Amino acid sequence: MSQALIITVLIAYFGILILISYLTSRNASSDTFFTGDRQSPWYLVAFGMIGASLSGVTFISVPGKVVNDGMAYFQVVMGYVLGYIVIAQLLMPIYYRLNVTSIYEFLEKRLGLVSYKTGAAFFILSRTLGSAIRLYLATVVLQLFLFDDLGVPYWLTACITILLIWVYTFKGGIKTIVYTDTFQTFFLISAVVICTVIVANALNVDLLGLWDRISETKTTQGNSMTRIFVFDDPNAKNYFWKHFFGGMFLTIAMTGLDQDLMQKNLTCKNINDAKKNMYSFTGVLLVTNLLFLILGGALYVYAFSEGITLPAKTDHTFPTLALDHFGTIAGIFFLLGITASSYASADSALAALTTGFCIDFLNFKKREEAEKKKLMLLVHIGFSVLFLLIILATNWYISQNPKTDIIDIILTLASYTYGPLIGLFAFGIFTKRVAQINWLVPVVCILVPIFCYLLDKNANLIVGNYKFGYEMLIINGALTFTFLYLFSVRTKSDVHATY
């Protein structure tokens, strides 16, 4: 693709996002920013959540992983389904019954102020790191295929990326994002479908024939690229039950206990609409992830058949083929897809982090509207700058470790940072106890992830050939729950027991 075409596409795309922002943020108040005035249509929320959940990491890393792991990642996706059922039937009814703006207000009502602040702090840590690293992928693609040739330094690319997100989210917040994410999800899914069809046509096969070609192609491990289930080696990182239950708990943590995605659900009119949203979203997400895996297999079949030399880093496989080998239409839709997936995830995270910090740490409910808007703007800018710093740090780290798999970084970080949230919420929901000494709650939530990290790094000395995967999140949450239980007493207060 030519540089002029890439720039034209990006200008048109962000022009539409800014127009949507203008139309949806008129007469916006702080409540509009945080809750969308609780008037969002459930079907728009459901569709838009696809883009916010997948991100640029899924868009690039999942297809790239097929060459090594086949379609084993789908085991994680199957676990997602069970996780979403738990969210819809257990967590969302609690949030709606309590009428919360920040989901961590549940912890205050149930366990007290210290637990509330601890949970909110872990969300801010988790979502800031995860979303900034996801956004890093989009900046890298733009840098490699556009800004390098223009002589633009990477730090400026990162600044432009953050500035664009800030411009269309700073006023309308979550109300704007419900609509911009719907717009962006359309392009994300369209990009996957169109690129898959283009590859199939290039190989002169229909979709069933494409699946057969993928099945006949081997991964670097010698297995079929369509292999999904791994039952033969319990010690393997991608063993089925590790992936399945890891996916289930990753979903509960990264969606059900995450202000970002739950904030969208809480903009629905009532719990019934929110459940419709969740189940619709689950079905579409399942199909979309399968499409990503099929696309990944198709990319490698095409590259092998054409003798194309691929980049050593699998994250660069899709962008290289789409922008350099598949023609203008594929290039345009790839560009729209990676932009949509990255920005849909990052913009909602930025709004959720602003909401979380304002509600959970700045006592917003007791402030005047003018003061709220001023503080909200400052917090929004602050998190934008923090995103920028993390993106620049990630770029430096990847330059020192070029074989690093971004999706594994994100899910591994989630295993450590979301574990305490699972433990805290499970303790609050399934027991009638409170911490005996309040300050022990943050101590437990900090020390348990450190222990889990040391356990993972020294696994060969403790459990032999066993390799920890995403089940580390379960271990982390279970240990947090156990220690909270050991240092607790049965509550005597009806206030803390009511939710």
Residue 164 and residue 14 in contact, taking contact as beta carbons nearer than 8 Å: yes
Could you tell me the pLDDT band of residue 146, with boundaries at 50, 70 and 90?
A: confident
What whole-number distance in Å separates Cα of residue 456 and Cα of residue 479?
Answer: 14
Closest by alpha carbon to 296, among 74, 3, 32? 74
Residue 401 and residue 367 in contact, taking contact as beta carbons nearer than 8 Å: no
Backbone angles phi, psi at 421, to 5 degrees: -65, -40
What whole-number distance in Å separates Cα of residue 390 and Cα of residue 211?
Answer: 39
316-359 pLDDT tens trace = 888 888 888 888 888 888 888 777 776 766 777 777 788 778 88
Residue 321 and residue 308 in contact, taking contact as beta carbons nearer than 8 Å: yes
Q: What angle do CA 324, 290, 142 make, to 5 degrees?
A: 30
What whole-number distance in Å separates Cα of residue 109 and Cα of residue 360?
Answer: 13
Residue carrying structure tokens 């840590």: 125
Task: Identify the architecture of domain 3-423 in CATH.
Answer: Up-down Bundle (1.20)
- Which helix (H) or strand (E) is 114 found in, with range? helix 113-142
Contacts with 357 (C-beta within 8 Å, 6 or more apart), sequence order: 124, 379, 383
Residue 213 and residue 75 in contact, taking contact as beta carbons nearer than 8 Å: no
What whole-number distance in Å separates Cα of residue 429 and Cα of residue 97?
Answer: 14
Looking from the CA of 126 toward its CB, the CA atoms found within 13 Å total 31
pTM of structure = 0.79
219-229 pLDDT tens trace = 988 999 999 99
45-74 pLDDT tens trace = 767 667 666 666 677 778 888 998 899 999
Q: What percentage of residues in the chain have a pLDDT greater than 70?
A: 88
pLDDT for residue 35: 55
Residue 139 and residue 391 in contact, taking contact as beta carbons nearer than 8 Å: yes
Residue 39 and residue 269 in contact, taking contact as beta carbons nearer than 8 Å: yes
Closest by alpha carbon to 493, among 443, 444, 435, 439? 435
Could you tell me the pLDDT band of residue 204, with boundaries at 50, 70 and 90?
A: very high
Residues in the chain: 499
pLDDT for residue 13: 80
Contacts with 125 (C-beta within 8 Å, 6 or more apart), sequence order: 417
What whole-number distance in Å separates Cα of residue 455 and Cα of residue 458?
Answer: 5
Q: What is the dihedral of CA 283, 40, 182, 251, to 10 degrees?
A: -40
259-314 pLDDT tens trace = 877 877 777 788 988 888 888 888 888 988 999 999 999 999 999 998 998 888 88
Q: What angle do CA 277, 283, 287 make, to 5 degrees?
A: 140
More confident residue, 360 or 369: 360
70-101 pLDDT tens trace = 999 999 999 999 999 999 999 999 999 988 87
145-152: which pairs have CB atoms within 8 A and are 24 or more residues apart? 145/1, 145/6, 145/319, 145/323, 146/3, 146/6, 146/7, 149/3, 150/3
What whole-number distance in Å separates Cα of residue 48 and Cα of residue 186?
Answer: 8
- Which helix (H) or strand (E) is 434 found in, with range? strand 433-435
What whole-number distance in Å separates Cα of residue 175 and Cα of residue 182?
Answer: 12
Q: End-to-end alpha-carbon separation of the chain, Å?
A: 56
DSSP assignment, residue 90? I
Does the pLDDT of residue 428 top 90, yes or no? yes
Average pLDDT over residues 201-213: 91
166: which 2 tokens? 């800030």
Q: What angle do CA 336, 140, 160 make, to 5 degrees?
A: 75
Residue carrying structure tokens 């389904």: 81
